[in-house]
Amino acid sequence: MNSVPNDNRIQSLFNHQEKAFLEGENRTYQERRGHLLSLRKLILENEDQILEALKKDLGKCQFEGIISETLFTIKEIDHTLKKLKKYMKKRWVFSPLLQFPVWSRIRPEPLGKILIISPWNYPFQLLMSPLIGALAAGNVVILKPSEVSEATSKVISELVPKYFPESVVGVVEGAVEETQALLSLPFDHIFYTGNGVVGKIVMEKAAQNLCPVTLELGGKSPCVIMGNNDLDLVAKRLAWGKFFNAGQTCVAPDYVLIQEELYPRFVENLKKYIEEFFGKNPKDSSDYGKIINKRHLKRLESYFDKKGDDLIFGGEVDEEKDYLSPTILRANVDSPSMKEEIFGPILPIISVANFDEALGAVRRHPNPLAAYIFSQDNHYIERFIEEVPSGGMCINDSLVHLTNPNLPFGGRGASGMGSYHGYKSFQTFSHMKSIMGRGTFLDLPVRYPPYKGKISLIRRLLSWFG
Are 228 and 262 within 8 A, CB to CB?
no
Contacts with 455 (C-beta within 8 Å, 6 or more apart), sequence order: none
Q: How far apart are CA 351 and CA 272, in angstroms?
A: 20
Helix, strand, or coil here: 315?
coil
The radius of gyration computed from the CA coordinates of the chain, to the nearest angstrom, equals 26
From the candidates 25, 69, 178, 216, give the one annotated as an active-site residue.
216
Beta bridge partners of 114: 141, 189
Q: How far apart are CA 342 and CA 300, in angstroms?
A: 7
- The H or E element that residue 216 is part of is strand 213-216
Are 251 and 284 within 8 A, CB to CB?
no
Q: How far apart are CA 197 and CA 103, in angstroms?
A: 46
From the candidates 18, 76, 173, 250, give the one annotated as an active-site residue.
250
Rama region for 334: left / alpha / beta (φ>0; ψ in -120 to 50; rest) = alpha
- Helix (H), strand (E), coil (C) string for 229-261: CCHHHHHHHHHHHHHHHHHCCCCCCCEEEEEHH
Helix axes 7-22, 176-183, angle to 10 degrees: 40
Query: What pairing do the DSSP bridges indicate for beta strands 113-117 and 140-144?
Result: parallel
Which sign, positive or negative, has the C-alpha torsion 175, 180, 185, 189?
Answer: positive
Q: How far apart are CA 48 and CA 68, in angstroms?
A: 14
The yes-or-no answer on residue 250 being catalytic is yes
Cα–Cα distances in Å, from 94 out to 104, 203, 433, 464? 7, 36, 15, 16
Active site residues: 216, 250
